[in-house]
């Protein structure tokens, strides 16, 4: 029996992957729904997640080239760990765009009753799921709506005399704030695209709770800002006052966007540079990359569920989720990661005489071009799941969100521990047996199946078994992408090539996917959006397989043969790269 040995030189690398992912897991997957809580629409979030990968697209190869030229990979990625930690910590201090009501309705107080309706448009009456829940599924419950209604002097007198708020007698025009209590069995659906809510009681500024009534000629009719505590009710209210067109006039938007870009660039550079360092440490055993990277999946899986539990515990009894605990958890873990990363025993020795020339020759290869297209499409699909899966779950959950962050944490845990972890271990064997191209076709097929399953969900808890597919759609994909980039990179350009591949995946793919995801989410729904992406992925899978079959049958070009072959042929290609003009620096 052979002696089992452990490469102690790789332990700091394993520790970095574990702590880096453990430190980003409490924050990164929740940022899109955190943005929603701050008041941004799905379209605006899509725009934000379109801009960030573009910034990363430029940062990755530029920072990679700098790191390769000056041989400062270790310093580079340690600096970026610090920058990411600072940006994450600052994000929690971005204020909400609007703490007040978000929608407009018509308020009536006449003939002994008070009500509001959604007939001022444009309403959201196309939300059949919310309408069915309101009219048929939630009788006996009462929604509480915060209302801000502009009143004139006569209407203030009605409030003073009829509602018992004498302090408002004789007041000039201004805004009247109160909380309306509307039992859902009093809801009426009009033939027009609007719904009528009868207010049975109101909590007045003095703290008294009583039925708001206007008798005789005492009538109040006005347009009010309103926000209710039930998702189903808000889903039927007219479009939010904060439109997508004027969101850029708020400093909160620019502050949030700036910090998100800084955090994204930090994460993007850390990932690409640390992967390059890992492959350098592995030397002639790039197939062992998946084992190192699996420690990252372990860290992400464990701490994402811890983060979900912490958020739900800290938010108990609150209308909105409290993210403070996870931001500080992330900061503490990233500080530990910085200490572990400093223990890496690594010095870059290989150097290219002309990084630009070597990389340009590499990208001119048709095999690499096809590979880049594949990375872009997978990135497009990944952008949707990264940024809008939790939106889908929260829409399916409706108003019952007490356990939502726990569920979202479980989703991330299963993705990593049940999916990514085993497939990172198996990735080297799979790529060797199937070849990189066949692995790519398999990944597109499973993405399509996964997204179509999302689109037919009715209970958010059923998402958990689907997350096991993440092992193929991300674990196998990422190992395949990173190992391919490592194999074809000329010596001395590994960080640059990893940055370019990452730029194609995130900078182009994730960016486009985020934009389209936000657009389709606001135009249709999260379920329909996942169905569209799922069908597109299945079509891409068939096209990818067909193109490779035609190329292999009709072309004698060895570049195509190598692109479609197993890993042994990639080693031949790696040897051919030595013909490029290189300098060995010691």
Sheet harboring 103-110: ordered strands across? 188-189, 195-199, 113-117, 103-110, 220-228, 142-151, 174-183, 201-203, 209-210
Q: According to CATH, what is the number of the domain 10-97+245-584?
A: 1.20.1250.20
Please, which pLDDT band fits residue 236 given cuts at 50, 70 and 90? confident
Residue 490 confidence (pLDDT) above 80: no
Q: How many CA atoms lie within 13 A of 292 on its CB side?
A: 31
Per-residue pLDDT of 358-386, as tens digits, reads 556 666 666 677 778 888 888 888 888 88
pLDDT of residue 6 exceeding 70, the answer is no
12 or 497, which is more confident:
12
Rounded to whole angstroms, the Cα distance separating 529 from 51 reads: 20
Distance CA 513, CA 504 (A): 12
CA angle 68, 71, 74 (to 5 degrees): 105
pLDDT at 446: 93
Residue 220 has pLDDT above 60, yes or no: yes
For residue 405, how many C-alpha atoms fall within 13 Å in the half-sphere facing its CB?
27
Which residue would you say has higher pLDDT here, 128 or 276? Answer: 276
Average pLDDT over residues 404-429: 81
- The average confidence (pLDDT) of the chain is 78
The reported pLDDT for the residue numbered 515 is 85
Segment 310-361, tens digit of pLDDT: 888 887 766 577 888 999 999 999 999 999 988 887 665 555 444 556 556 6
What is the model's pTM?
Answer: 0.61
pLDDT of residue 51: 86
Q: Are 490 and 576 in contact (CB under 8 A)?
A: no
| Distance (Å, whole) CA 325 – CA 317 | 16
Q: Which long-range contacts (CB under 8 A, 24 or more apart) does 2-10 make?
A: 9/281, 9/345, 10/281, 10/282, 10/292
pLDDT at position 96 over 90: no
Query: What percent of the chain lies above the pLDDT cut of 70?
Result: 78
Rounded mean pLDDT of 13-19? Answer: 91
**pLDDT-wise least confident of 2-16, 166-180, 527-541:** 2-16
pLDDT > 70? residue 464: yes
What are the tens digits of pLDDT across the range 549-576?
Answer: 776 776 544 444 444 443 444 443 333 3
* CA–CA gap between residue 163 and residue 211 (Å, rounded): 8
Q: State which of 113-122, 435-444, 532-541 shows the largest mean pLDDT.
A: 532-541
| pLDDT for position 240 | 56
What is the average pLDDT across 72-90? 90
Residue 100 predicted with pLDDT over 60: no
Q: Which range among 43-57, 114-128, 448-462 shows the weakest confidence by mean pLDDT?
A: 114-128
Q: Domain coordinates of the chain in residue numbers?
A: 10-97+245-584, 103-234
The region of weakest confidence among 2-6, 248-252, 266-270 is 2-6
Q: Which residue has the higher pLDDT, 308 or 364?
A: 308
Residue 91 has pLDDT above 90, yes or no: yes
Q: 145 or 364: whose pLDDT is higher?
A: 145
User: Can you tell me the mean pLDDT for 20-26?
Assistant: 92
Which of 315-319, 438-442, 544-548 holds the top average pLDDT? 438-442
Give yes or no for residue 585 having a pLDDT over 50: no
How would residue 180 be classed by pLDDT, with cut points 50, 70 and 90?
Answer: very high
Q: How much is the CA Rg of the chain, to the nearest whole Å?
A: 28
């Amino acid at each position: 029996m052979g002696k089992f040995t452990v490469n102690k030189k790789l332990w700091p690398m394993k520790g970095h992957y574990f702590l880096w992912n453990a430190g980003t897991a409490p924050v990164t997957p929740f940022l899109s729904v955190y943005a929603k809580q701050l008041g941004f629409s799905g379209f605006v979030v899509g725009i934000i997640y379109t801009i960030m990968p573009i910034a990363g697209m430029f940062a990755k190869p530029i920072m990679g080239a700098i790191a390769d030229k000056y041989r400062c990979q270790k310093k580079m990625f340690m600096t970026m760990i610090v920058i990411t930690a600072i940006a994450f910590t600052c994000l929690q201090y971005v204020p909400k765009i609007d703490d007040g009501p978000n929608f407009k309705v018509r308020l009536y107080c006449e003939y002994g009753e008070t009500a509001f309706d959604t007939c001022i448009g444009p309403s959201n009456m196309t939300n059949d799921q919310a309408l069915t829940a309101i009219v048929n599924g939630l009788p006996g419950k009462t929604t509480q709506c915060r209302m801000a209604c502009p009143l004139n002097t006569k209407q203030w007198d009605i409030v003073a005399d009829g509602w018992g708020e004498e302090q408002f007698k004789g007041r000039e025009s201004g805004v009247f704030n109160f909380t309306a209590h509307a039992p859902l069995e009093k809801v009426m659906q009009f033939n027009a695209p609007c719904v009528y809510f009868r207010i049975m009681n109101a909590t007045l500024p003095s703290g008294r709770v009583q039925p708001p009534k206007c008798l005789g000629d005492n009538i109040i009719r006005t347009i009010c800002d309103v926000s209710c505590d039930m998702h189903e009710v808000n889903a039927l209210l007219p479009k939010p006052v904060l439109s997508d067109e004027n969101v850029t006039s708020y400093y909160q938007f620019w502050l949030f966007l700036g910090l998100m870009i800084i955090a994204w660039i930090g994460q993007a550079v850390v990932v690409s540079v640390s992967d390059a360092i890992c492959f350098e440490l592995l030397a002639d055993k790039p197939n062992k990359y998946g084992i190192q990277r699996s420690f990252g999946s372990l860290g992400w899986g464990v701490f994402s569920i811890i983060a979900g539990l912490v958020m739900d515990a800290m938010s108990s009894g609150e209308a909105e989720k409290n993210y403070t605990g996870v931001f500080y958890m992330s900061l503490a873990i990233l500080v530990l990661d910085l200490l572990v990363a400093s223990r890496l025993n690594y010095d870059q020795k290989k150097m290219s005489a002309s990084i630009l020339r070597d990389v340009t020759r590499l990208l001119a290869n048709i095999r690499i071009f096809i590979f880049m297209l594949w990375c872009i499409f997978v990135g497009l699909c990944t952008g949707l799941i990264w940024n809008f899966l939790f939106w889908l779950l929260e829409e399916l959950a409706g108003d019952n969100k007490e356990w939502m962050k726990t569920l979202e944490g479980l989703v991330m845990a299963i993705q990593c521990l049940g999916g990514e972890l085993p497939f990172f271990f198996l990735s080297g064997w799979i790529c060797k047996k199937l070849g990189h191209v066949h692995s790519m076709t398999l990944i597109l097929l499973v993405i399509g199946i996964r997204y179509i399953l999302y689109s037919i969900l009715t209970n958010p808890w059923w998402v958990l078994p689907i997350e096991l597919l993440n092992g193929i759609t991300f674990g196998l994909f990422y190992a395949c992408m990173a190992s391919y980039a490592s194999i074809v990179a000329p010596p001395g350009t590994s960080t640059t090539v990893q940055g370019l591949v990452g730029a194609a995946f995130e900078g182009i793919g994730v960016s486009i996917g985020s934009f389209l995801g936000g657009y389709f989410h606001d135009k249709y729904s999260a379920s329909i959006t996942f169905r569209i992406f799922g069908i597109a992925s299945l079509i891409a899978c068939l096209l990818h397989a067909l193109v490779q079959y035609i190329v292999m049958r009709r072309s004698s070009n060895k570049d195509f043969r190598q692109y479609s072959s197993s890993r042994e042929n990639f080693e031949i290609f790696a040897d051919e790269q030595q013909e490029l003009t290189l300098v060995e620096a010691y």
